[in-house]
């Protein structure tokens, strides 16, 4: 039974507080924790209320709501994707999210999720690679050196033991930014002149580019046997990064097929093309990598349960860390049926 | 082209500021304005991206997301419905909402919507009655005297010219609360011992109860010819207020059939039972009331466009009124591709 008078207050994590929280714990620790939270939620995959995200498309981008619930808590994320934003000095992807109690419907956390999405996306990628990449992989090619790149790099370092990073971007300024930001991270960095060069000796290939179009960042002849491909950038209808022939040679792992078939690399394939759900690999119901020569592909699009895990993680951290502020978001009259009376009393008080 | 450095800031209207805004303008003025905004948006109904709300149901309630867009702006509302909350001292319905630019995906307004939903629901009801109720109606029966009652009463006074209100609730405490709150409103109030008595002489009947069950607030023999019924309380699967026979005698008007057939009173009827979309009445494409003896029924469930109108209204008001505070919600690095670098710079600054 809930009683107190503080139900109008929702803890809010601003961008500033999210940065403080991440810096306090350290990005590698946060992403390792996030991978643990995601893994725990993927293990109880069947207990979640799942739905493909609700997307509102326009000519220049998309705005999406991604809700899910485990029956005790309900979470959703608002996220946009506007590739042209970068040219206007804005983020391609911005996000915020909310966690609520299913029992009352009352919100218990509102948080920025632009930074948190970058962290959870990288944590998810590294978690998939932990289960799929060739054993002992230490070198990763990083094609696309934009806003997500450093997070991917540090997650693969912390979670998969990657030590060498081979960077390439069509814009060398992005690569230099990445090198600068990762100097002192302990990663061994090599800037490459093209994608082929970046892939030399790489056991893991991460593609993370942002154009909203059918692109071919990797062609078939570029990809040798035995690698793990972490395809992050293709995440909406009409936006892919890999040539179809690579997909046909790969064992494909996805988050949630009804969403990935619309948004992922596999939108290029037949609706019935076999894919494996990652949660089944994590729970041991399906095989991951079975052969050293096999190409494994994680066709990442980002699913609501990962955001739920991230919200749950931040909510747990706030039980002990001070990085939130109170937001007066829920009207809470003393008598719940007397919403109008609350207005009248506010008027009397002001008079 | 957007340039400034303030894109990280989203104006936030707290509960406190919403009350200040409503008291500054006056509730009747706000609801009259809201009805105008809703009417304007219903006139351009076809330009909206429409989808039934995305609902997450549990044994005790529902949490919903209601998105829509007119191609220039995107809005959504988070709203819960938990009838048992009242017994725990909590609101049955709480809500907040967001407005964003379609062109960039960036939020431009976050606001409490518990109070705003109460205002827009009443404005919507009165707008429908303006088009459907018998000409010159001045007496309204108000069955259910909970959190929504005073808003309905004042909206019908301001928008439809109602002067006499006949109140009934199974709980007489709610009726007394309503009388107290509406004393001095200029409405002539009569507390009634039962629903039949409340309906004596009423040309408009508003039902607004909150149980999540198939209830029968009104039975067929209670409803005479020529009245307008404003059925507000039946708004989710399994929750209705009117006996099916009343529906069969009525001309039924709805907001958005795909949603109302699931959530409204008409969930009791055949899927093909004829209903009229209110926007078509407002634009003159369909007939409203055609006969003085006709029973018109507005089967109100609340639709996303009404929330969009309300968000748009608050956003417009904030151009001249000071009732918002800045929320640091959007990560906005100087170089949009340098999200990680923003973290590093925050670290350097803190050191």
Domain ranges of chain A: 9-115+305-344, 131-302
Q: Which two tokens stand for residue A102?
A: 């299913």
State residue A7's pLDDT score: 73
- Can you point out the beta strands (E) in chain A? 9-13, 54-57, 62-69, 73-81, 95-101, 107-112, 139-143, 164-168, 188-191, 204-207, 214-218, 228-231, 240-242, 250-254, 276-277, 295-299, 325-328
* Closest alpha carbon to A261 in A247, A250, A251, A275: A275
B168 contacts B198 by C-beta, under 8 angstroms: yes
B60 contact A CB<8A: yes
* Closest alpha carbon to B120 in B190, B42, B11, B10: B42
Measured between beta carbons, the chain A residues lying within 8 angstroms of B114 are 330-331, 339
Interface of B with A in 106-125 (CB under 8 A): 106-107, 112, 114-115, 118
State residue B92's pLDDT score: 84
Interface of B with A in 174-213 (CB under 8 A): 174, 177, 180-181
Q: Residue A69: CB partners within 8 Å, gap ≥ 6?
A: A48, A49, A75, A102, A308, B56, B58, B63
B170 contact A CB<8A: no
The pLDDT tens digits along chain A (351 residues) read 333 447 789 999 999 999 999 999 999 999 999 999 999 999 999 999 987 778 899 999 999 999 999 999 999 999 998 988 988 888 888 999 999 999 999 999 999 999 999 999 999 999 999 999 999 999 999 999 998 999 999 999 999 999 999 999 999 999 999 999 999 999 999 999 999 999 999 999 999 987 656 677 888 888 889 999 999 986 667 778 899 999 999 999 999 999 899 889 999 999 999 999 999 999 999 999 999 999 999 999 999 999 999 999 999 999 999 999 999 999 888 888 899 999 999 999 887
Give the residue from chain A lying closest to B337, CA to CA.
A147
CB atoms within 10 A of CB B288: 20
8 Å CB contact of B86 and A339: no
* Closest alpha carbon to A189 in A169, A168, A166: A166
Give the residue from chain B lying closest to A347, CA to CA.
B23
**Catalytic choice (B211, B235, B299, B307):** B235
* Closest alpha carbon to B251 in B223, B215, B288: B288
State residue A4's pLDDT score: 41
Q: How many angstroms from the chain centroid is the CA of residue A203?
A: 22
8 Å CB contact of B23 and A347: yes
Q: Residue A130: CB partners within 8 Å, gap ≥ 6?
A: A35, A159, A160
**Which among A16, A90, A146 has the least Cβ separation from residue B106?**
A90
Q: Which fold has domain B132-302?
A: Rossmann fold (3.40.50)
- Nearest CA to CA, how far is A202 from chain B (Å)? 24
CB atoms within 10 A of CB A75: 24
Q: How far apart are CA B74 and CA B102, in angstroms?
A: 6
Q: Which residue has the tokens 């009525």?
A: B250
Q: Does B211 participate in catalysis according to the annotation?
A: no
State residue A350's pLDDT score: 84
A165 contacts A142 by C-beta, under 8 angstroms: yes
A349 contact B CB<8A: no
State residue A3's pLDDT score: 34
Element (H, E) at B295: strand B295-299
A283 contacts A45 by C-beta, under 8 angstroms: yes
State residue B212's pLDDT score: 58
Model ipTM value: 0.89
* Closest alpha carbon to B53 in B307, B231, B273, B311: B307
| CATH number, domain A131-302 | 3.40.50.720
Which residues on adjacent β-strands are paired with residue B63? B56, B80
Q: Which residue has the tokens 């008001």?
A: B317
- Rg for chain B, CA atoms, rounded: 21
Domain A9-115+305-344 architecture: 2-Layer Sandwich (3.30)
Q: How far apart are CA B309 and CA B336, in angstroms?
A: 32
Q: Which residue has the tokens 């500021």?
A: B17
B83 contacts B92 by C-beta, under 8 angstroms: yes
Q: How far apart are CA B231 and CA B125, in angstroms?
A: 9
Percent share of chain A, pLDDT over 90: 80
Q: Which CATH superfamily is domain B9-115+305-350 in?
A: ornithine cyclodeaminase, domain 1 (3.30.1780.10)
Which residues on adjacent β-strands are paired with residue A79? A64, A95
A327 contacts A112 by C-beta, under 8 angstroms: no
Q: Which two tokens stand for residue A227?
A: 């690698």
Q: How far apart are CA B172 and CA B180, in angstroms?
A: 12
The pLDDT tens digits along chain B (351 residues) read 333 447 789 999 999 999 999 999 999 999 999 999 999 999 999 999 987 778 899 999 999 999 999 999 999 999 998 988 988 888 888 999 999 999 999 999 999 999 999 999 999 999 999 999 999 999 999 999 998 999 999 999 999 999 999 999 999 999 999 999 999 999 999 999 999 999 999 999 999 987 656 677 788 888 889 999 999 986 667 778 899 999 999 999 999 999 899 889 999 999 999 999 999 999 999 999 999 999 999 999 999 999 999 999 999 999 999 999 999 999 888 888 899 999 999 999 887
Q: Which residue has the tokens 């969009």?
A: B308
CB atoms within 10 A of CB A60: 15
Q: What are phi and psi of A36, to 5 degrees?
A: -65, -45
Q: How far apart are CA B69 and CA B101, in angstroms?
A: 10
Q: Degrees (nearest 5) of the Cα angle B20, B22, B28? A: 155
Provide the 8-state DSSP code for B92.
Answer: S
Which residues on adjacent β-strands are paired with residue A296? A228, A251
């Amino acid at each position: 039974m809930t009683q107190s008078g503080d139900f109008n207050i929702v803890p809010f994590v601003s961008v500033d507080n999210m940065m403080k929280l991440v810096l306090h714990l350290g990005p590698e620790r946060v992403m390792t924790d996030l991978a643990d939270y995601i893994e725990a939620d993927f293990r109880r995959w069947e207990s979640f209320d799942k739905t493909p995200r609700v997307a509102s498309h326009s000519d220049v981008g998309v705005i999406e709501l991604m809700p899910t619930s485990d029956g005790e808590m309900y979470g959703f994320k608002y996220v946009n994707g506007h590739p042209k934003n970068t040219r206007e000095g804005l983020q391609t992807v911005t996000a915020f999210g909310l966690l609520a109690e299913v029992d009352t419907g009352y919100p218990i956390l509102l948080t920025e999720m632009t930074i948190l999405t970058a962290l959870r996306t990288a944590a998810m990628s590294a978690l998939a690679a932990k289960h799929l990449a060739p054993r002992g992989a230490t070198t990763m090619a990083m094609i696309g050196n934009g806003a997500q790149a450093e997070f991917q790099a540090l997650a693969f370092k912390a979670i998969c033991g990657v030590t060498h990073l081979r960077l390439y971007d069509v814009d060398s300024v992005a690569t230099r930014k990445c090198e600068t930001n990762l100097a002192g991270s302990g990663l061994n960095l090599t800037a490459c002149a093209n994608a082929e060069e970046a892939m030399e000796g790489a056991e893991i290939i991460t593609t993370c580019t942002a154009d909203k179009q059918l692109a071919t960042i990797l062609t078939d002849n570029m990809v040798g046997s035995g690698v793990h491909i972490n395809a992050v950038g293709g995440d909406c209808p009409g936006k892919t990064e890999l040539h179809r022939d690579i997909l046909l040679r790969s064992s494909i792992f996805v988050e949630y097929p009804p969403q990935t078939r619309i948004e992922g690399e596999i939108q290029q394939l037949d609706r019935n093309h076999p894919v494996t759900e990652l949660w089944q690999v994590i729970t041991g119901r399906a095989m991951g990598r079975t052969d050293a020569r096999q190409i494994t592909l994680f066709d990442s699009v980002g699913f609501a349960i990962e955001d739920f895990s991230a919200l749950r993680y931040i909510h747990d951290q706030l039980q002990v860390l001070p990085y939130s502020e109170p937001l007066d978001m829920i009207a809470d009259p003393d008598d719940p049926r007397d919403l109008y009376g609350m207005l009248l009393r506010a008027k009397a008080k002001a008079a």
